[in-house]
Amino acid sequence: MKNLILLAVALCSLVGCEKAENTARSVARKTGDLVGKGAGEFFSGVGDGVRSVADGSVPDVLSAIASRKSVRKFDSLKKVDEVVVEKILRAGMAAPSAMDRRPWAFVVVRDPQQLARLAEKLPNSRVGNGAPLAIVVCGNLDNGLSGRGKEYWIHDCSAASMNVLLAVHGLGLGAVWTGVYPNEDRVAAVREILSIPDGYMPLNVIPIGYPAESPAAKDKWDPAKVHTDRW
Ligand SMILES: Cc1cc2nc3c(=O)[nH]c(=O)nc-3n(C[C@H](O)[C@H](O)[C@H](O)COP(=O)(O)O)c2cc1C
């Protein structure tokens, strides 16, 4: 099946059979046959905005997920290019969100004085460990969803944050998710330092940089946490 789909994609690419190629790709995506392929291949055939998230050199998605780990020490001399930062932000914004509301905003902190303020007030954030950059993921509390839906910003921004972590890893950098919300003291400090307006809530601070440590990724597989058909 897998080989047939890939053959169909290749043949259609050769003869310029665009519709059939798209169909073959769509089948391949639905059946998961492109999982495990290079991200460049997975992302080809979709829009420009998506293509520019993946440059074809990132590890395949399952390897990337398995090998990601929190990095808490950074090379302060190695700056992170603006183009790279945009790729990371694009990955964050590619996340799923409830009713596609995308209730997120990202504060990119590069100013050394601002980073020093964050490091001082939030030692847990590891920003002080040489990070040349931090991204603060903020939720829009007025996401247009009512009742219990109001809380969906947390889910949505968490999905965006995970995409940020994976993109960082795929691009050869390191990062760690450090918690802000719901710790009131941290929320107040971040809000004040970064002038975050009412109606937005900082969820986390993600220091990013080239790693100055190489912790091992953890094997967290635990079959005892899996239930089949019933708990
Ligand atoms: C909601 C959340 C809050 C976290 N807060 C912190 C933090 O304040 N400081 C920190 O160093 N790591 C923090 N982490 C990172 C976790 O400690 C880390 O993900 C965990 O130990 C697993 O390690 P791994 O990311 O290398 O797999 C946080 C992670 C999450 C998801």
Whole-number Å distance, alpha carbon 24 to ligand 1 midpoint, is 40
Atom of ligand 1 nearest to the CA of 217: 26
- Region 28-45: what's the mean pLDDT? 41
Which of 69-73, 105-109, 141-145 is predicted least confidently?
141-145
- pLDDT of amino acid 144: 85
Which of 23-37, 111-125, 167-181, 191-205 is predicted least confidently?
23-37
Q: Is the CB of 124 under 6 A from ligand 1?
A: yes
**What distances in angstroms separate CA 165 from CA 10, 197, 228, one per listed residue?**
32, 25, 30
Tens of pLDDT, residue by residue over 43-56, are: 444 555 555 555 55
**What distances in angstroms separate CA 37 from CA 64, 111, 173, one per listed residue?**
12, 38, 21
- The closest alpha carbon to 104, from 206, 36, 188, 14, belongs to 206
Tens of pLDDT, residue by residue over 115-158, are: 999 999 999 999 999 999 999 999 999 998 999 899 999 999 99
Helix (H, G, I), strand (E, B) or coil at 123: helix
- pLDDT of amino acid 8: 40
Atom of ligand 1 nearest to the CA of 161: 31
Q: Please state, rounded to an integer, the average pLDDT across all residues of the chain.
A: 83
pTM of the entire structure? 0.80
- Region 11-26: what's the mean pLDDT? 38
Whole-number Å distance, alpha carbon 56 to ligand 1 midpoint, is 28
Kindly report the protein residue whose alpha carbon is nearest to atom 18 of ligand 1: 70
